[in-house]
Amino acid sequence: MSEETLMIDPPVESAPAQAPGALPRLLAGILPDGAMSLDEHFAVHGQAPVPARRRERRSESPLIERIERAGLRGHGGAGFPTATKLRAVAASRKRAIVVVNAAEGEPASLKDRTLMQTLPHLVLDGAQLAAQAVGADELIVCVCETARASVEASAHAISERLGMPLDSARMRLTAVPGNYVAGQEAALVNCLNGGPAIPTFTPPMVFEQGVRRRPTLVANAETLAHVALIARHGPEWFRQLGTASQPGSALVTLSGALAHPGVYEIEHGASLQSLIDAAGGMLANPRALLVGGYGGSWIGGEFLRGVALSDEHLAPHGASLGAGVVLLLSQDACPVAETARATRWMAEQSAGQCGPCVNGLDSIAAAVQEIAEGHAQRNATQRIERLAALVHRRGACGHPDGTARFVTSALNAFALEFADHARRGHCEGCARPGELPLPVHRPAGAPAHEPTLPR
């Protein structure tokens, strides 16, 4: 248990003048290219709050309570309350480990690698503060090995902080495989323990027994960057942006036929249109929106005018912001072919461990492909819906659930297109190159898995 804690009042003069709560927050002072150095980082954000001795040994770190009042939830996709997670790790008597999760195996998401590449010190600040709050003396920064610039910037940032008195946890960097499920927290812990980057059966949960059997906080890189700012400015400041149920800002990866696709910081609840405007507008009318990535949901083009980017606004569409993937599909693309390709890729990304996932996702991908090619059996869409329900919650991780959600949302959003393909097969758009980003080669660490039949 750590004896370090935070002073409640950070030195005001170290914070730069800025409209209270305004955007950009995380992306303040971002450089056109390259990473922000430690000195530049402190010039923009001020020093991190100074740890002071905690009066009572067993009392909780005030930072956890501030994060709770801020209402911060994880930005890795699941949206779990960050304070609850910190508290679970802090409650253990054993010394904890903090893992910074920038594995980002979702091909349509770039925000965590961008954060590590451009603003590594904001993440490392938050990680050190979280380490103090949970009583961790070791911090492992996990960055996707395919994101070379992010790995290099992270390594340099860690070296810049050597000997910094406020950093109480020693840091090391690990480049982790780029397969889709590598970022799932048990998979990441499995990888750090010398195993493959694939999920394990829980319990034990990683907050009880994680890296080297020690209680482990696995936190998304962006989430920790928010922690760094909440520690400086407090929960009231954090709540000046966003909605009551989802306060604060979020990084989103915006892609599609836009003037300037890329990573943006939005206020939760911002309209899709305002994000499109910030990216210089659409180059062509969008046909549909994919929110949350390949474990997320399609929203049909007819709804796009009214879409706002928060979980409460997206819930009526069966969607949530997840890790912030916002992808606009163009009118020329074939949504059936796009869905078929991405579903096949997701089936291949199964770790191959759980029967319902291995067999179910393969069957779903095959059925979608048959519809796309026009030789599906009758009731093929009903079969997909039945299979999607069948795999739900039957894997060791959420991979089958996410893939099922993605496919069923496609059946909803593109009902006409699916019916058309089932009757007539390929359309003009089918021949176009795919718009959904998919890694061409299967990344190392993600071997191909043939579906297995029971003996």
Name the residues that contact another protein, by CB under 8 A. Answer: 199-201, 353-357, 359-360, 390, 394-396, 453-455
Rounded to 5 degrees, what are φ and ψ at 346? Answer: -65, -40
Q: Do the Cβ atoms of 143 and 151 come closer than 8 Å? A: yes
Q: Which is nearer to another protein, 297 or 408 (CB)?
A: 408
Residue 29: which region, alpha, beta or left (left: phi > 0; alpha: psi -120 to 50)? left
Sign of torsion over alpha carbons 239, 243, 247, 248: negative
Q: Which is nearer to another protein, 170 or 386 (CB)?
A: 386
Q: Which is nearer to another protein, 172 or 394 (CB)?
A: 394
- Alpha carbon of 31 to those of 118, 203, 227, 449: distances in Å? 7, 43, 21, 42
Residue 355 CB, shortest distance to another protein, in Å, is: 4
CA R_g for the chain: 22
Q: Which is nearer to another protein, 5 or 353 (CB)?
A: 353
Q: Which is nearer to another protein, 12 or 453 (CB)?
A: 453
* Nearest-10 crossing angle of helices 120-134, 148-160: 60
Residue 210 CB, shortest distance to another protein, in Å, is: 17
Residue 194 CB, shortest distance to another protein, in Å, is: 18
* Nearest-10 crossing angle of helices 38-45, 221-233: 50
Reference 190, options 170, 213, 217; nearest CA is 213
Q: Do the Cβ atoms of 221 and 100 come closer than 8 Å? A: yes
How far from the centroid of its chain's Cα atoms is residue 384's Cα? 27
Q: Which is nearer to another protein, 353 or 369 (CB)?
A: 353
Residue 141 CB, shortest distance to another protein, in Å, is: 28
Residue 79 CB, shortest distance to another protein, in Å, is: 23
Q: Which is nearer to another protein, 359 or 409 (CB)?
A: 359
Residue 380 CB, shortest distance to another protein, in Å, is: 15
- Could you give the CA distance from residue 389 to residue 401 in angstroms, rounded to a whole number? 9
Residues 6 or more apart whose CB falls under 8 angstroms from that of 221 comprise 100, 101, 102, 112, 115, 116, 123
Residue 199 CB, shortest distance to another protein, in Å, is: 8
